[in-house]
Amino acid sequence: SQQGEEDPQALSIQEGENATMNCSYKTSINNLQWYRQNSGRGLVHLILIRSNEREKHSGRLRVTLDTSKKSSSLLITASRAADTASYFCATDMEYGNKLVFGAGTILRVKS
C-alpha cells in the first residue's frame, strides 16, 4: 500500500515564487527521496535525505525531514516555468530496497 501522502495535490504559482510540497509517511524509513516527473515521462531523481539527516540542499532545492512527525518537505526556490512537473516523494522500508511512492504534487509554474 502507498504509505507516502503528499500535499497539496496540485499547486499553481507564478514564476519566481517559491513552491513548497509536503510528504507524510507511516512507517520507519532508511531514507526519503524526491523525484520529478514531466508529463508522460520517466522519473528524475532530485535529492535523497537519510533518516539521520534533518535538512539537505541541492541548488534551488531544500528538503527537510522530521522523523518524529514522519514528514518531509520539498522547497523549490525562485521557481521557473521549467519546474512545471509532478513531484513525488518515495520512502524505502528499513528492510529491502523497495520504494513506496507518495501520491504526488502537480506543480504548475506560470510565466
Partner 1 sequence: GAVVSQHPSRVICKSGTSVKIECRSLDFQATTMFWYRQFPKKSLMLMATSNEGSKATYEQGVEKDKFLINHASLTLSTLTVTSAHPEDSSFYICSGLPITSGPDTQYFGPGTRLTVL
- Pick from 20, 30, 71, 73 the residue near partner 1 by CB under 8 A: 30
Kindly state the number of chain residues that form the binding site for partner 1, as judged by CB under 8 A: 25
Does 98 engage in binding with partner 1 (CB under 8 A)? yes
User: For the chain, how many residues are written?
Assistant: 111
Cβ proximity of 96 and 31 under 8 Å: no
Residues 46-65 that bind partner 1 (CB under 8 A): 48
- Pick from 19, 21, 79, 88 the residue near partner 1 by CB under 8 A: 88
Cα–Cα–Cα angle for 23, 89, 84, rounded to 5 degrees: 100
- Pick from 26, 41, 80, 110 the residue near partner 1 by CB under 8 A: 41
Cβ proximity of 73 and 21 under 8 Å: yes
Does 100 engage in binding with partner 1 (CB under 8 A)? yes
- The amino acid that residue 43 corresponds to is L
